[in-house]
Amino acid sequence: MTQLTIEEERFLESNRVPFGAVLDANGLEKPDWRKLIRALEKWVIVGGLPCEKAGHTIRLRSGHCYQCGTSSPVFLLRKLNFTNLYIAGSSSGGFLKLGSSRDFKKNIETLNQHKYAGVDDWQVIIAYEVKGSEKIEFKTQRKIKRFFNPEYVRMGGRDIVCLDTFKCKFSRAKKALTDSLDNQSRLLFSDDSLEQSFESLVEKVLEEQKEREFVYLDTETTGVPAWENKIVEISIIDDEGNVLLDTLVNPEREIPEEATKIHGITNEMVKTYGTIEEFIPKINNLIRGKKLVIYNYDYDTEFFPDKLGQALEICCALRAYQSHMKIVKGSSLSNATNHIGYSWEGKAHRALADTRACRSVWRWLLEQDPEIEHTHSYL
């Protein structure tokens, strides 16, 4: 058993790190304990060289300080308590940065001191006091993620990737932030002249975000919950409405009468078809690298072992429709199609008909708000 100090014991215990995962690195140089920690499959070391910031001697396998490192659980827990959320800009770099901090002014001083992203002219353009910055920051990032352009620089003798720099008009970034705020947020700082200055930034979209190719999917099942039910029908169509896959599926179990009453699929109809496991390779080929649109993605993805993870992104048409219509709950596919004036092709609650209806709702939403595909997509 590794011998820990009382301070180390308390720290690791409070962060739920089992002592068996700890390597005693006292007397070892970094190259030596890094080899040993991997060989012994440990998580953290104690007794390493003190970190420069606070003198901590507990390190992650990567070598970062467990208490100070930005990749550590401790840092992430601290981040939940950050109260300032801001957008800063660099004129020399021609980009913006979304950040959170206890004190945005001190944070900017640190960025400039260390030449974050290779520049030292960071200026705060707008800042808010928020509760739970992690959630609001994530929501903001989702809205502008296609404009994020990582900066690869050398800082402190190391190659660093700055993932939070992006290139778009300030008004776009500001709207993404303000739309994500809750009623407990309040404006701390804004500079109108800087807002105008950074409005002229040249927008740049990452190459992988430029092309968008949508495919649409729907399933019919034996019921819910997913862990004890199976798919009985699946359809996938492309953005032009062409049918890529439309088949019944053998669930290898009885289809309950109440499920048949909804979609009309009987045990007799599915008995000669393959199981979903047999169709998964084809499904994965059809959605791989595409943006997959589903009306209520929470429901359908649960029926697949990898939750349809081969898709580039999964866009939820239900959540997007609810957001656009300012509806908290409800909104069946039928309600959505009635609202947009869609004429059904086929019978509702059959996979192909529902997939076509989902496509129509999604295309209507994009006409109303082209940004909606970015605010309601999920990896």
**CATH assignment of the domain containing 285:** 3.30.420.10
Count structural domains, the chain. 3
Q: What percent of the chain has pLDDT over 90?
A: 44
Write down which residue in 59, 77, 95 finishes a domain.
77
pLDDT at site 150: 83
Q: Are 60 and 66 in contact (CB under 8 A)?
A: yes
Mean pLDDT along residues 150-161: 74
Band (pLDDT 50/70/90 cuts) for residue 242 is very high
Would residue 47 count as lying in a domain? Answer: yes
Band (pLDDT 50/70/90 cuts) for residue 13 is low
pLDDT at site 313: 83
Rounded Cα distance, 174 and 328, in Å:
24
Residues 245 and 328 in one domain: yes
pLDDT at site 18: 65
Average pLDDT, the chain: 84
**Alpha carbon 70 to chain centroid distance?**
18
H helices present in the chain, as ranges? 6-14, 30-39, 73-79, 104-113, 133-144, 170-180, 192-197, 207-210, 257-263, 267-270, 276-287, 297-301, 317-325, 333-340, 351-368, 372-375
Q: Are 354 and 295 in contact (CB under 8 A)?
A: yes
| pTM higher than the cut 0.75 | no
Q: Which domain holds residue 97?
A: 80-208
Residues 371 and 223 in one domain: yes
pLDDT at site 210: 47
Classify residue 318 by its DSSP letter: H
Rounded Cα distance, 375 and 294, in Å:
15
Residues 23 and 127 in one domain: no
Instruction: Read off the pLDDT of residues 275-286 as tens digits, 9 standing for 90 and up.
Output: 999 999 999 999
Rounded Cα distance, 203 and 189, in Å:
24
Residues 324 and 237 in one domain: yes
Residues 218 and 366 in one domain: yes
Looking at per-residue confidence, does 180 or 126 come out higher? 126
Residues 118 and 179 in one domain: yes
Residues 127 and 218 in one domain: no
Q: Are 296 and 219 in contact (CB under 8 A)?
A: no
Instruction: Read off the pLDDT of residues 38-95 as tens digits, 9 standing for 90 and up.
Output: 777 677 888 877 776 667 778 777 677 776 655 555 555 555 556 899 999 999 999 9
Would residue 361 count as lying in a domain? Answer: yes
Rounded Cα distance, 245 and 249, in Å:
12
Give the max Cα distance, the chain. Answer: 75
Residue 174 confidence (pLDDT) above 90: yes
Write down which residue in 77, 94, 121 finishes a domain.
77
Residues 234 and 282 in one domain: yes
Rounded Cα distance, 150 and 89, in Å:
14
Helix (H, G, I), strand (E, B) or coil at 370: coil
Residues 64 and 196 in one domain: no
Residue 358 confidence (pLDDT) above 80: yes
In 3-state terms the chain splits into helix, strand, coil percentages (rounded to 5) of: 40, 20, 40
Residues 39 and 70 in one domain: yes
Return the half-sphere exposure (C-beta side, CA atoms, 13 A cut-off) of residue 355: 27
Residues 183 and 242 in one domain: no
Would residue 1 count as lying in a domain? Answer: no
Residue 339 confidence (pLDDT) above 70: yes
Band (pLDDT 50/70/90 cuts) for residue 119 is very high
Would residue 229 count as lying in a domain? Answer: yes
Write down which residue in 51, 77, 103 finishes a domain.
77
Would residue 272 count as lying in a domain? Answer: yes
Residue 140 confidence (pLDDT) above 80: yes
